[in-house]
Amino acid sequence: MIRISTLASSSKGNASVISSGSTHLLVDTGISALRIRKGLEECGLSINQIDGIFYTHEHSDHLCGLGVLAKKNVLSLYCSRYLSRDLRGIAPSAKLTYIEPGCSFEVGNITITPIEVSHDAADPLGYIFQHGDAKLGYITDTGRITRSMRNLLTGVHALYLESNYDPQMLQDSGRPYDIIERISGDWGHLSNEQAAEVVAMVAHDELRHIILGHISPECNTPEIALQSMQTAVQQLGLATQVCVAPQSCRLNWVEI
Ligand SMILES: [Zn+2]
Ligand SMILES: [Zn+2]
């Protein structure tokens, strides 16, 4: 069994907890250290029990809590080589491990495989977390479906997946043209429709849970994202449970 709880999920801040029961990991620290500690407490954990923090990329909504967290705790951080330079400056006392897309390794009893994604950041990553037979994919902040996503997400039993924007709401948002182009471009974010394409790509009878995340507060709604994915799941003939990670509070454990 592996389980996931999200502490926050949107362009205003992202952090998730993944646990096998004895190994506990964080993905991103894009909310305040106070909120991370409080969220971990709600999960029955403390920061001292976290065996590793995995970073997707350097944008503030994925990173901002690290500086304060690192002042009081000795942390083990895992990130791409480029991001490690930033992290060393923010958290000089942390133990840093560089990781490469496609190269699997273990922390405790969880096997982690980083996945290359496509985003306007330095070497952004998604992940697969596996414990025993249970396999969880974690994909956020990507403008397109990459080849390694196609290859590595095969067979996942659960997927935390960005479903950032509704294309019409984005067009009608009144945002400057270059921002709209950035969000909807190959180095931006996944729309609800693109999230459904990812699910079609990895669909199989044992895909049990989809958690939709990083929903734009301005260019999407949880209801629209949920409806879009539920329709896609029905069309694929799957019995997959779909839920939405709340933007600013905790999603209770989803067990896989
Ligand atoms: Zn983000
Ligand atoms: Zn980003």
pLDDT in tens, 143-171: 999 888 988 999 999 999 999 999 999 99
* Distance of CA 214 from the midpoint of ligand 1 (Å): 7
pLDDT digits (tens, 9 = 90+) for 215-236: 999 999 999 999 999 999 999 9
* Distance of CA 61 from the midpoint of ligand 2 (Å): 7
Superfamily of domain 3-255: Ribonuclease Z/Hydroxyacylglutathione hydrolase-like (3.60.15.10)
* Distance of CA 10 from the midpoint of ligand 2 (Å): 10
* Distance of CA 60 from the midpoint of ligand 2 (Å): 8
Instruction: Sheet containing 95-98: give its strands across.
Output: 95-98, 76-79, 52-54, 24-27, 13-19, 3-10, 254-255
Give the ligand whose atoms come closest to the C-alpha of residue 188: 2
* Distance of CA 98 from the midpoint of ligand 1 (Å): 21
Average pLDDT, rounded, for the chain: 96
**Closest alpha carbon to 77 in 64, 89, 94:** 94
Q: Where are the domains of the chain?
A: 3-255
By the CB criterion, residues less than 5 angstroms from ion ligand 1 are: 61, 141
13: left (phi over 0), alpha (psi -120 to 50) or beta: left
What is the pLDDT, as a whole number, of residue 147? Answer: 86
For residue 139, report the phi and psi dihedrals to the nearest 5 degrees.
Answer: -130, 120
pLDDT digits (tens, 9 = 90+) for 58-114: 999 999 999 999 998 999 999 999 999 899 999 999 999 999 999 999 999 999 999
* Distance of CA 62 from the midpoint of ligand 1 (Å): 6
What is the pLDDT, as a whole number, of residue 150? Answer: 87
User: Rounded to whole angstroms, how far apart are CA atoms 135 and 219?
Assistant: 31
* Distance of CA 114 from the midpoint of ligand 1 (Å): 17
Give the ligand whose atoms come closest to the C-alpha of residue 30: 1
Q: What is the average pLDDT across 166-187?
A: 96
- Check whether 56 has a pLDDT greater than 90: yes
* Distance of CA 244 from the midpoint of ligand 1 (Å): 16
**Closest alpha carbon to 246 in 225, 228, 219:** 225
